Structure 1
Amino acid sequence: MRSQGRQTVVAACCLVLSLSAGVLAAVPSAQADPPDPAQKKKELDTKIGKSKAELAEAADQLGSAVAAYTDADAKLKVVEVRYAAAQGRLAAAKAADAVAAGKLAAAERSLRDAVSEVEAGQQQIVEKRAAAGKAVRSAYQQQNSLVGLSIALQGAAPTDVATGLQVQRNVFGIQSNAITNLNNAQAQLASKQAKLTAAEQSAAAARAEAARTVKQVTELTKQVAADKAEAQAVTTQKQILYKRAEREKISEQTEYNSLLAERNRVEQILIARARAEKAAAARRKAAREKAERDKARREGRPPRPVPNDPDNGDGGLSKPIDTYITSPFGMRFHPILHVWKLHDGTDFGAGCGTPIRAAASGRVTDKYYNGGYGNRLFISHGVIDGSSITTVYNHLSRYKARVGEHVTRGEIIGYVGTTGYSTGCHLHFMVYQDGRLVNPMKWL
């Protein structure tokens, strides 16, 4: 059903009726004033948990529960994707950390080796420098000009002189070799020092890379833990919402099944009532025909045609409220229950307290409060165009007509309200033709 542009679909728009002594509703009694609509509405709202309308057309409790579950499911999928991505980044960061740690270990080994080599080279330089100095001193001493004179003055033989010159040459050779070795050692030391510098730079870079990966691993570990916790929380919430939605779904399905059975039962009663009404009309016509035949026989003439009971169809039905339609009669597919449900009347939008008028002349047969339809009023209009017609007015704020009272077309019978299963002020208008629900617009 709908009011002010919003539809409120009464679950299958069922008829919650109980028959007693030929009356559709046993309570309240035929002539009793209806209970306080505001209080009844409050009780109903508490009972149904403020479930207001079918999910396809409004935001009832089932729709809200299902929507909340759907949102939680979507959120969980997003969180799970983010969690999986964070896990992937964490795994990559850990792998990078392992590589960086390996690089750092290798760089530090290279650095240690370079330091050792430099230290060894420095020691070698010290040794080579000492050897070179000794060789230079020795060579200096050996190359003194008095050596040859000493040999000559001592009367050395020529062979001795030659030997002395050879010694001198040997000394100068040793000096040259010592200097060369020293130069080579210094060059090697410079190379080792360059290697040491490169190793120190590589080790520093490896340490920085390792520090970055450690920081990244730490941050991603925290992110993964947070995403995991959120995923667990959303999963828990999703399970809660799922159970709630299932409860609402089961509740609505149970209510729908119950109300559908009740509607069918009431339809059968109204069908029987329409048949009885037509049978009574047929008996009245048969009695009139017999009387006409008897009269014609006494008067010695052929019987004249006898008309049916006077038809109450003075132009069909009139609109109970001269206003706009907010929701038409027809089948609606429930997206959660996956069943077709009948919106069994036409909704007219109007403010609470707006007068409601009889759609045609007739007799008020029933009025009572129902959890779905709120305050209801039934008028039997007798036979219109060959069919037994009953109109029903729902969600009234209060009544004006009484049960058993004969009302005329356009007479005020009650006032618009929002009692029962309703989200706003409006009139839910129903028509029964020969006991069966039909589209009211067929008769308006």
Structure 2
Amino acid sequence: MSLRRRSIAGVCALMVVVGGLTLPASADEREDLVNQQEQNAQREREIKSTLEGLDVNLQDAFLELEKTRSQIPRAEADLATAQNELAIAERQAQANAALLFSAKEELASISGELSTSSAAALQTKRKLAEIARATYRGETMPNAIDLVLGSASAKEFTDAYRVNAALTRTQSAAFTELSQSVARSKNRQSRQEAVEDRVEELKAESDALVVARDNARDVAQTHKDTLLELESSITAQTQSLEQRKAEFEASLVEVEKSQQAASARIAAIDEENRRREAERLAALNAAQQAAAAAQRASAAGGWLNPPIPGPLVVTSPFGMRVYPLGNYRRMHQGVDLQSACGDPQYAAADGVVASTEFDVGGGNIVYVNHGIHNGSSYVTAHMHLSAIKVAPGQRVSQGDLIGLSGATGRVTGCHVHFEVWQNGTAINPMGLPGF
């Protein structure tokens, strides 16, 4: 598989983010979500393809590590959301506490005003009581007629009248003050009752907000703990894989030996094809050889077809494959195509089944010899089959059933692995006209 050198963690970071998205509010958002899911699925297939050829236990260890890594973005998003909700809850609790403090201050002020007002009213009442008692004892000032008749002179009348008027004003002021004091007291009492009700409401709201804040803090802490546990797990799993480096290298060596053996077998088939073609051409006269050359030239189009019907979905392309542990590369000599377990695979062209075998890396394999075409020897290989439907030496025509897609060998899931060999060299099937 041709992949640029990159960390699987970076690829997997988006694999399961979709699981944390909310329901889209519009058709555009839904389309974006579907596209993201498709991209994530493709990335997951690419990651799995990088593990092919490794021992199954190593594959499981890598996949578990990447599964853990893929949970990091969701955990970080959950933590950020929880911390934001905690901040909101704390601000609400602080604002409510400020309102409650202000209400209590206002209540204390009203209580002070009521106390002062009550003292003033009491004093006014005492003044009025004294006036009432004086009136009862006959100690009040004479009326105007009594002042006139009882005054010896005009000056005495004027002085007596001024004193009497002052006392009258004092009595009137006392009555007015008492009336106003009573009105102010009633108003303050109404305010006091309203503020007391508000204080009780704020207390209840404060208690609820404190509970909400504490719950938000607990949720945030839980998400933080989860994130720390994931990071700790990633560290431990990475260290464990590093310790299995020798096992990893041995697994790749085993696969490399298997590939070399397959290359040798295909080279032998090519050699036999060329020998027979040479013998066939030698038996032809000059005119027949010219006709054969013309036929080869006219048959240069798409004579090889894909092993499964289209549309073709490439899950791992032809080319160098970079492994996730260390700077290890291995040639991916075929193309991986999306296919479910049990799907039929067909002969790409007419030919003879060269061999059927089981390989530690490739699983169940069918090699088909297509002989010489346009001057080149061609062999195709179908790998990881769940079932083989042909036998060695059997002649097949293009479109005949070869076997069923599977996941045998060192793979991470069902798919088609199809190889095309031209003159002993693996070529990219996707570059052929028929593909």
How high is the TM-score relative to the length of structure 1?
0.61
Question: Structure 1: any 5+ residue segments left out of the alignment?
Answer: 18-43, 52-59, 149-160, 293-303
Amino-acid identity (%): 17
Question: Structure 2: any 5+ residue segments left out of the alignment?
Answer: 2-37
1: distance between equivalents of 2:265 and 2:82?
61
How do 1:30-429 residues align onto structure 2 when only pairs under 5 Å count? 65-134=68-137, 136=139, 139=142, 143=146, 162=152, 175-242=164-231, 266-270=258-262, 318-319=304-305, 321=307, 323-328=309-314, 330=317, 344-345=334-335, 347=337, 349=339, 352=342, 354=344, 356-357=346-347, 359-362=349-352, 364-365=354-355, 367-368=357-358, 370=360, 373-379=362-368, 389-402=378-391, 405-410=392-397, 414-420=402-408, 421=411, 427-429=416-418
2: distance between equivalents of 1:65 and 1:127?
92
1:102 maps to a residue whose letter is E
2: distance between equivalents of 1:240 and 1:436?
48
Q: Give the match's secondary structure for 2:312.
A: strand
Check conservation: 2:307, 2:348, Cα contact below 8 A: no
Q: Give the match's secondary structure for 1:431.
A: strand
2: distance between equivalents of 1:401 and 1:16?
28
1: distance between equivalents of 2:401 and 2:426?
21
2: distance between equivalents of 1:200 and 1:369?
95
Q: Give the match's secondary structure for 2:309.
A: coil
1:95 maps to a residue whose letter is A
1:364 maps to a residue whose letter is A
1:131 maps to a residue whose letter is A
2: distance between equivalents of 1:332 and 1:123?
110
2:107 maps to a residue whose letter is L
2:98 maps to a residue whose letter is A
> Over alpha carbons, which structure has the higher Rg?
1
1:177 deviates by 3.7
1:415 maps to a residue whose letter is G
2:84 maps to a residue whose letter is V
The alignment's C-alpha RMSD in Å is 5.3
Q: Give the match's secondary structure for 2:407.
A: coil
1:122 deviates by 1.2
Check conservation: 2:270, 2:423, Cα contact below 8 A: no
Give the 3 Å change call, closer, same or farther, for CA 362–239 of structure 1 in structure 2: farther
Q: Give the match's secondary structure for 2:384.
A: strand
Give the 3 Å change call, closer, same or farther, for CA 280–428 of structure 1 in structure 2: closer
1:120 deviates by 1.7
Aligned to 2:18: none
1:417 maps to a residue whose letter is S
**What do residues 393-430 of structure 1 show as CA deviations (whole Å, max 9, x unaligned)?**
1232222445xx32324286742133344655x64322
Moved more, 237-246 or 273-282: 273-282
Check conservation: 2:318, 2:335, Cα contact below 8 A: no
1: distance between equivalents of 2:204 and 2:257?
74
1 or 2, which has the higher helix percentage?
A: 2
Moved more, 5-14 or 200-209: 5-14
**What do residues 298-343 of structure 1 show as CA deviations (whole Å, max 9, x unaligned)?**
xxxxxx9xx9xx99x9988644746224323636999x97999969
Check conservation: 1:11, 1:256, Cα contact below 8 A: no
2: distance between equivalents of 1:252 and 1:387?
44
2: distance between equivalents of 1:130 and 1:170?
25
1:110 deviates by 1.1
How high is the TM-score relative to the length of structure 2?
0.62
1:96 maps to a residue whose letter is L
Aligned to 1:11: 49
Give the 3 Å change call, closer, same or farther, for CA 16–280 of structure 1 in structure 2: farther
Check conservation: 1:135, 1:175, Cα contact below 8 A: no
Q: Give the match's secondary structure for 1:419.
A: coil
1:87 deviates by 0.9
Check conservation: 1:12, 1:343, Cα contact below 8 A: no
Check conservation: 1:393, 1:429, Cα contact below 8 A: yes
1:330 maps to a residue whose letter is P
1: distance between equivalents of 2:233 and 2:332?
26
Check conservation: 1:374, 1:418, Cα contact below 8 A: no
2: distance between equivalents of 1:268 and 1:369?
12
Aligned to 2:5: none
**What do residues 201-228 of structure 1 show as CA deviations (whole Å, max 9, x unaligned)?**
3323332332232222212111111111
2:310 maps to a residue whose letter is Y
1:361 maps to a residue whose letter is G
1: distance between equivalents of 2:255 and 2:426?
10
Corresponding residue pairs, total:
365
Q: Give the match's secondary structure for 1:406.
A: coil
2: distance between equivalents of 1:14 and 1:137?
120
